[in-house]
Amino acid sequence: MIGDLKDGVTSSVGSNISKILQGSVTAQDHDGGYVPPGTLNDTACKTDTCCVWSYIAAEIYPFFQETNGTCNQWARRAIRLGFHDAAGWSKPNAAAGNDYGGADGSIALSAEEAGRQENKGLSEIISKVQEWQQKYGVGMADLIQFASNVATVTCPLGPRVRTFVGRIDSTTPAPAGLLPDVFDSADKLICLFADKTISAGQLTALVGAHSTSQQFFVDPSKAGQPQDDTPGVFDTNFYTQHRPGASKLDGVFQFQSDVLLARDTRTKGRWAEFSIFGAPLWGGGYATAYVRLSLLGVNNINNLTECSHVLPKAHTSFP
């Protein structure tokens, strides 16, 4: 268990999250068809915690979409931003008295953290979330995770990851050295995520976000190259195309870290399952792992509010 759930479940939302984290309840929400009770500044809207989030979703959903229905560079950046904010937490650090970092908004609230080498490529989306925060007056930590989940469901085949708000923001930069490097060994990557309470199988599910990604800084001479042949679609081609023996496609840039995880004995089984059984299996695995990731370092989980029902509808087929 993570956060305050370690000390017990004291609310229905805490109970739901605890079951999601244990895998006994689905981490995906199925389209709620939410209608806001009033306009943004109405009292009716202000008394419903999720109302403002429905207006944010209405603004950022089209912003994340290409005219052909795929998700765009802003969506990719938002997904990566959600990961980079949340991953700045580790269990050993917390046990040593440094229980900070995590999904606390610090990547957009601390210039020091935003400026780190590992966050190269995120400055434009950081400016965007800062602009949205000013406009809507919500918490930064929530906004970053909400934007990541809207971005994910904007991508065709992307899961509708259950979404919670009420995190506490922090301007303290996350401890350094907690993000993975593209040239790390599989062992280092698996240990790094284990320290965040994320298993090897869950790491395998999360790196599938590279199904939609592009690289700009690993090899700047190949800037813009995607990690599978369908960037902008949350499909499982990424897993299939990284399996040992798969032929390398022209114009696709594989990260060494992904190649190693596709082969390691602790991750290759799950990797193969996602490749064989496709988006329905992977979407569920991704959602469960992402709910955990999005709550790292959050110590008021029992007090959160679920706003999954305001997310846009999922695109379950493409084209």
Which residues of this chain interact with ligand HEM, rule CB under 6 A?
A: 73, 76-77, 79-80, 83, 121, 180-182, 189, 206-207, 209-210, 212-218, 255, 257
Contact of 256 with 244, CB cutoff 8 Å: no
Compute the distance between CA of residue 263 and CA of residue 33 in angstroms, rounded to an integer.
Answer: 41
Binding residues: 85, 102, 104, 106, 210-211, 228, 230, 235
Helices (H), strands (E): how many in the chain?
Answer: 15, 4
Contacting residues for 80 by C-beta, under 8 A, at least 6 apart: 121, 122, 125, 209, 213
| Residue in the shown chain whose Cβ atom is closest to ligand HEM | 213
CB of 141 to ligand HEM, least distance (A): 16
CB of 46 to ligand HEM, least distance (A): 32
Contacting residues for 177 by C-beta, under 8 A, at least 6 apart: none
CB of 294 to ligand HEM, least distance (A): 9
Contacting residues for 297 by C-beta, under 8 A, at least 6 apart: 3, 86, 88, 89, 94, 99, 100, 101, 102, 103, 104
Residue where the block lists tokens 């022209």: 250
Compute the distance between CA of residue 298 and CA of residue 217 in angstroms, rounded to an integer.
Answer: 31
Binding residues for heme b: 210
The SS3 call for residue 174 is: coil
Based on CB atoms, which residue is closest to ligand HEM, 109 or 190?
Answer: 190
Binding residues for Ca(2+): 85, 102, 104, 106, 211, 228, 230, 235
Based on CB atoms, which residue is closest to ligand HEM, 223 or 246?
Answer: 223
CB of 187 to ligand HEM, least distance (A): 12
Report cis status (omega within 30 of 0) of the bond before 319.
yes
Q: Which of 84, 242, 309, 315 is catalytic?
A: 84
Based on CB atoms, which residue is closest to ligand HEM, 45 or 194?
Answer: 194
Based on CB atoms, which residue is closest to ligand HEM, 77 or 162?
Answer: 77
Q: How far is CA 59 from CA 62, 74, 105, 132, 150, in A?
A: 7, 13, 20, 9, 11
Based on CB atoms, which residue is closest to ligand HEM, 54 or 72?
Answer: 72
CB of 181 to ligand HEM, least distance (A): 6
Known catalytic residue: 84? yes
Catalytic machinery residues: 84
